[in-house]
Structure 1
Amino acid sequence: MSPLARPALDPELAALLGVMPLIPEITPEILTQLRRLPSTPIEELLGTRAVDRREVVVAATDGADIALTILSPVDARAAAPCVYWMHGGGMIMGDRYSQLDIPLEWLDATGAIVVTVDYRLAPEHPGTIPVEDCYRGLCWIAEHSDELGIDPARIVVAGTSAGGGLAAGITLMARDLGGPAILAQILSCPMLDHGNASTSSRQYSGEPAVWTRETNAFAWNAVLAELPTDRIPAYVSPSSADDLSGLPPTYIDAGSAEVFRDEDVDYATRIWAAGGQAELHVWAGGCHGFDSLFPHAELAVAARRTRTDWLARILNPTGAQA
């Protein structure tokens, strides 16, 4: 069978991807190699920002340690907003510093306190463990909001790729379990659907890409290994949720030239169908994660600026200063 046609990449991104090593799928051996790649040092990410940094360890529901990093502007006002960040990496790689430059831009623009979580990874920690770790971190933030100088009514959950899926998952959990109030959720190219059967998923199969259908299947198989196939929790695979009503305002974006495009569009559509508020951006020519891979590319600059502007409006709906 001939491969499906793919939307054209943005020319600038195509040139950048042309010199980037891409693989058709991840294997256990490749995953081991990818995990050995060093993270960007937190000191380099913070640069010259005037930021107070605090490291804490929170107990997971099973007693395991979950590391959180709390980054606060040194001049943070009382009852500051908070962005709770979940990193990408397919729930199989990455750490709490991955893609951290994105929420640090929000710290700069809005004065928000950023909290980032080191949830445990599959396949060593499959099933509901990653999303439950993230939810435990959210509960800890809400419980310690006074101590942290956070306004508990202005907590935004956010993430990219797998982190976007986890942000969607804990938002569903908070709604269903009567958990902490979430002001809004930002889901950037989120990994939402374990079914892996959409048109965009099939378009990005068989040939190298930033994230392919085959790599997506590998990651989902690692996460779902110990779950019954007929009862995949919506908190793990948010597209499985029967009901998307009662969710906070939601920002979803994706590239037109990526594997998650259609499941992300569908999620926004279902939020609208349930009477909710969602803002959806599909960036023409964008590959998966283009805004984090190539932050200085013209399309990435536009995508990041648009997302930051939306967050600023959510945090300050009357136009008041952060």
Structure 2
Amino acid sequence: MFFDQAKIYVKAGDGGHGCVSLHRAKFVAKGGPDGGDGGYGGHVYFMAVDDLDTLIDFNGKMKWVAKSGLPGEGCNRHGAEGDDLIIRVPVGTMLFDRDIDDLMIKDLTEVGVKVMVCKGGKGGKGNKSFAGPTRQTPRFATDGKVGQSRNLRLELKLIADVGLLGMPNAGKSTLVSRCSAARPKIADYPFTTLEPVLGIVELRGYRRFVMADIPGIIEGAHDGVGLGLDFLRHIERTNVLAHVLDTQPTDGSDPVDNYQVLRNELSRYSPVLAAKPEIIVLNKIDLAPESDIIEDIKSRLGKKVYTISAVSGQGIRELNEAIWQELHEE
């Protein structure tokens, strides 16, 4: 199961309490106050890393708390500070404050970016801090402050250069596996892909781009039919969309009609996403050797179409070069 959303509670550490202590030593009948301050509580940070790709670490763990500071001690010894809590999340994770109308706190789009979400409590003052000319032996100290807390919502949007769209069984997973080292599950039935898959496509001249495959989209997806719209967020960051069409769908549907369904569902989900540059890919041409079928589809679409066979590799190099050019078009 792919975990791309989570709701959690985070809390910074409390400050340690100040200490009440009076100096005691041989030959010193009335030692002064020597109670130390409490230590600061640990802060809570989120940090984007590249060795995670889901939010599965938050499955079943909803409470994340940093260490509290230790109390002060006699002999003017301050309490140790609580350790910070650094919560590692995949690049592309967005943080929202559920207590403030789902306000976005941060969008972690780069590796190594770290953001503090809760500040640790300040340590309390020991009685040494309150000594003065008019109060030479204070017998009180202050408590540490409570660390900040928040109810957060985490949402992951994968970061890729090109997103693959298509009906179930259009061959998107085969295309990703052909173009990259990614190995998604592939089978001859709809909805084989149940979660997003990223693949790195490498071209000559040390060029590369990231391709994202998401579960197939069917008509009515905007009303919750099928799986596709649950994962469309993962291609919102892409720069180019590749519509993968099956030349001869096994369900007898028309490839051109399928393209229109994809465009319609995309527009209903997000006009911004629908406005992204697109590349149309006509897959499985090895199953339609009659050129008139392919030419008819291309003619009816009325747009530039790249014909490929993800199984045999025919047309793959030309497609990848076209995607690269589209990504780097001024």
After TM superposition, the score normalised by the length of structure 2 is: 0.28
More strand by share: 2
Bigger relative contact order (CA 8 A; separation at least 6): 1
After TM superposition, the score normalised by the length of structure 1 is: 0.29
More helix by share: 1
When Rg is computed on C-alpha atoms for both structures, the one with the higher figure is 2
